[in-house]
Chains A and B, each alone.
Chain A
Amino acid sequence: EPEVTQTPSHQVTQMGQEVILRCVPISNHLYFYWYRQILGQKVEFLVSFYNNEISEKSEIFDDQFSVERPDGSNFTLKIRSTKLEDSAMYFCASRYRGETNEKLFFGSGTQLSVL
């Protein structure tokens, strides 16, 4: 079965540093998402992306966050200046155009630790 791939599985960074989380969505998918889960809390929606632009973002997704699809296969989440509270598991997801929520595929996540 096709799968969404996220790298790295773990990322440790110093507060104030920039970090880029990488995702390779399923090849024919057109909608892309980032979610995150702070330890002990809910999985939260961050942003959705379609046709090379953000289609929706949450209030969490402030100016420190950005997303990009640089080369047609990767989908990245960049945090410009990390804060301690950015420590979380970040999930990438994708789906094919025309499918509904039942066809949303998630990656295994990147655990980000900000020290």
Chain B
Amino acid sequence: AQSVTQPDIHITVSEGASLELRCNYSYGATPYLFWYVQSPGQGLQLLLKYFSGDTLVQGIKGFEAEFKRSQSSFNLRKPSVHWSDAAEYFCAVGRVTGGGNKLTFGTGTQLKVEL
């Protein structure tokens, strides 16, 4: 069965500092990997995804993530955090099943940005 682990429940960084959010997955084949962000009162917004090819993927809002098969990881990074990045971040692994797109999410990491 597929699963996702986000070991950090809360992370606090200073504005302008770099950020790395960890994600480890378990999946029986080549995974489809995603990072979503949820701001208060908002839906889940896709930041970036990995399907195949280049293991370093670029997303919106200056985020990037690197797929490392040997470590079963897909960590999210940003070189300089802005106060507006404060939100909850979810890593997810997906598969296509018949007509469905079942995603398995991690528990999320709550990011706080100190000014």
Contact = CB atoms under 8 A, between A and B. Distances in A.
B43 A107 contact: yes
A18 interface: no
B63 interface: no
Interface residues of A, number: 29
B34 interface: yes
Interface in B13-70: 32, 34, 36, 41-46, 49, 51
Given A43-B105, A100-B51, A101-B34, A55 B44 contact: no
Contact of B43 (A3, A33, A42): A3
A108 B41 contact: yes
A21 to B, nearest CB: 14
Interface residues of B, number: 28
Judged by DSSP, the binding face of B is strand
Interface in A75-113: 91, 93, 95, 100-102, 104-109
Nearest to A50: B99
A41 interface: yes
Contact of B106 (A42, A91, A105): A42
Contacts of B46: 102, 104
Contacts of B105: 35, 42-44
A105 B34 CA distance: 13
Interface of A: 3-4, 9, 31, 33, 35, 40-45, 48, 50-51, 55-56, 91, 93, 95, 100-102, 104-109
